Each structure stands twice: as structure tokens, then as C-alpha cells.
Amino acid sequence: MKIIYTWILANPNKLFYIKTPNAKVYLKVIKKNITLIEAAGGLVMNTKGQYLFIYRNDKWDLPKGKIEKDEKVKEAAVREVEEECGIKVSELGEKICKTYHVYVNRGEVVLKKTHWFAMKSKGKEKLKPQKEEGITDVRWFEHEHIEPIIENTFPSIMDVLHEEKLVTNKVMPLSE
């Protein structure tokens, strides 16, 4: 694990994959050796059938954030979406999936487990990016026009889009 963590710290902007015969066992090992942060968020659809995305850290993303102490996962998901986008969630749907990704926070490698939910919004409010969270844009996208998202997002977001059948190919485009 120390070799992997050292490589992550030395290459913070690179993607890598670990091939293992049993992903569940390997994930348990990682969870024991790393700080785990639990988060929740949502894939929001409005009454026009458009999907809500945020732009943060030069990537398209879905709204999500850390679950606060004594907060339920579903409550956190709705709160984070509303705070980050300036909208009101009108309906919390089913859980889509959970994703894991590793990132560096203050020089420490952390594992983020995010619980994703389908959500609905009337989409009438003016979108307001939460600037203090580094969000510079919030936008509704038609399903047929999410190419900019697919071309510039994270693998974990592609997993959510794949689960919801918004994309059929999970392969990420190669960066130049």
C-alpha cells in the first residue's frame, strides 16, 4: 500500500487502475489503511428532462459533499445538491450506486465513498454555483448533449452516468 500511496502523491493528476483478482477483498484492505470520507450527492433531472452538472476544479462533476456527523445519507445528498447549485430538490429517488475514488487532501491520500441518488427538481430556480466550494458553473444539460461532460469528467462520474444509462460506454477518453 505504501508504494501505491507514494505514487499517488507523486502523480496527483494521473489516473491509474489496479488489477486484482478480488476487488471486494482489496477494497477492504484499502479501507483499513486509509482515511475514509463518506459523501453523498445526486444526479438531478428537471421537468424538461435535463440533467444538472457542476463545473469544479476544471472538470464537470455532479453535486456531492461530505456527510455531516449524525446526518443521514439521504439528507446529506439533498443538502449538498441544494447548497452547491442553489436549487430545491422536489423529489429524492432511488439510490443509483456508490462510487469510490482516491484523492490527495492536505498531503494525505484519502478514499472518498460517495452515495449517489436520483433526484428531481422543478428547475425553475436560478442556478447559483457555490463559489466557496470552488464551483464556477452550474448548468442543465440535455441527455443528447452531454458530450462536454463525458469528455471532461472523472471516472466515478462516468460510473453514475453508466448506471443511469445516460452513457453506454464507460471508457474514458484519453487526455492529451
Residue ranges and CATH numbers for the domains of the chain are 35-163 (3.90.79.10)
Greater pLDDT, 118 or 18: 118
Q: How far is CA 1 from CA 5, 7, 110, 156, in A?
A: 6, 10, 13, 21
Model confidence at 175, pLDDT cuts 50, 70, 90, reads: very low
Section 68-80 average pLDDT: 97
Task: Find all residues with CB under 8 Å of 82, minimum gap 6, and list them.
Answer: 88, 89
Model confidence at 176, pLDDT cuts 50, 70, 90, reads: very low
- Predicted local confidence at residue 70, as pLDDT: 95
Do residues 116 and 160 make contact, with C-beta atoms less than 8 angstroms apart? yes
Whether the predicted pLDDT of 162 surpasses 50: yes
Residue written as grid cell 462510487? 99
* Cα torsion through 100, 143, 124, 84, rounded to 10: 20
Section 85-106 average pLDDT: 92
Whole-model pTM above 0.75?
yes
- Predicted local confidence at residue 171, as pLDDT: 54
